Structure 1
């Protein structure tokens, strides 16, 4: 589930949104009201239940061969996502929807260019689409999906590596052991 040319996506468990009104997200470090969307490259970051903590890493041009083999694995593609065992049932059963939004009102935000925002109300291009099986999505995209007892050891390795990375909803992860 990725946007087509001229679109961004917004993922939600709510299939009843008729229009997206800018707001300040409770978890945002941004103070301005936005409608949030994602482009093609970052759409896989949202193939999860909304509150699910996830740690993600991918190979970049500057990634060392050592880090790629150590973290991603030799011959295992260029991207890996990790979740905790406690989220498996939610991954299996969540009803996730993607809203296709026109890209024109959106601009990239953040140094990492991780998301796109609009400052005006945006109406979907059509009804929301069921995202489907999240495991199948990862497999079809060639993205490893790891299930771990805790995200923190993986996160610590990833953030010290030369890989690109992102963590979403990490506050919902199991506490790190002291």
Structure 2
């Protein structure tokens, strides 16, 4: 489930949204009101239940041989064990939008500053594990995300973390 050329996607557990109104998210780092969407490259970042903490890493042209070896693939997503049941049972939907209604925003995110309407009804995303497998994305299941996160953020890999505030607390030795 990725955005088609000329489209961006918004993922939601709510299949009944008919219009998307810009708002300032509770976790926003900027004061502007937006409707958020993602392109094909970043769609896999959202193949998770909304509140699920996840850490992601991928190879970039500047990734070192050692970092590539540590990753053992080209892209890895990590979740905690406690997220597995939600990943098995969530009903996730993708809303399609015309990309021209959005502006690029940082790392392949896209934002609209006015109310936008989906191109049609949302599509069920389906089995999240199957999506990862079909895309060749390794899904690591860990007791806690923090050791993985610490390694990738100190590496030459590309990385992203979403909903990390919902992750298990860091264990301090």
Short-chain TM bin: over 0.9
Alignment partner, residue 141 of structure 1: 135
Residue 15 of structure 2 aligns with which residue?
A: 15
- What SS does the corresponding residue of 2:101 show, helix, strand or coil? coil
Show the counterpart of 1:3: 3
Q: TM-score with structure 1 length normalisation?
A: 0.95
Partner of 2:100: 104
What does the per-residue CA deviation read over 1:126-171, in whole Å, with 9 as the maximum and x for residues that have no partner?
A: 0000000000000000000000000000000000100000000000
Match of 2:151 among 150, 153, 157: 157
Aligned twin of 2:117: 123
- The normalised TM-score by structure 2 is 0.98
Distance in 1, Cα, partners of 2:151 & 2:20: 37
Residues matched between the structures, number: 172
1:80 maps to 76
Per-residue Cα deviation, 1:16-73 (whole angstroms, up to 9, x for no partner) = 0001011111111111110100001000000000000000000000000110111x11
SS in 1 for 2:110: strand
Aligned equivalent of 1:169, options 160, 163, 171: 163
Instruction: Tell me how far 1:123 sits from its aligned partner.
Output: 0.4
Q: Helix, strand or coil for the counterpart of 1:61?
A: coil
Please list every run of 5 or more consecutive structure 2 residues that lacks an aligned counterpart in the other structure. Answer: none
How much is the aligned-residue C-alpha RMSD, in angstroms? 0.7
Unmatched tracts of structure 1, length 5 or more: none
**1:48 paired to 2:48:** yes
Q: Measure the CA separation in 1 of the matches of 2:156 and 2:112.
A: 31
Helix, strand or coil: the match of 2:100? coil
d(CA) in 1 for partners of 2:36, 2:117? 12
* Deviation at residue 114 of structure 1 after TM alignment: 3.7
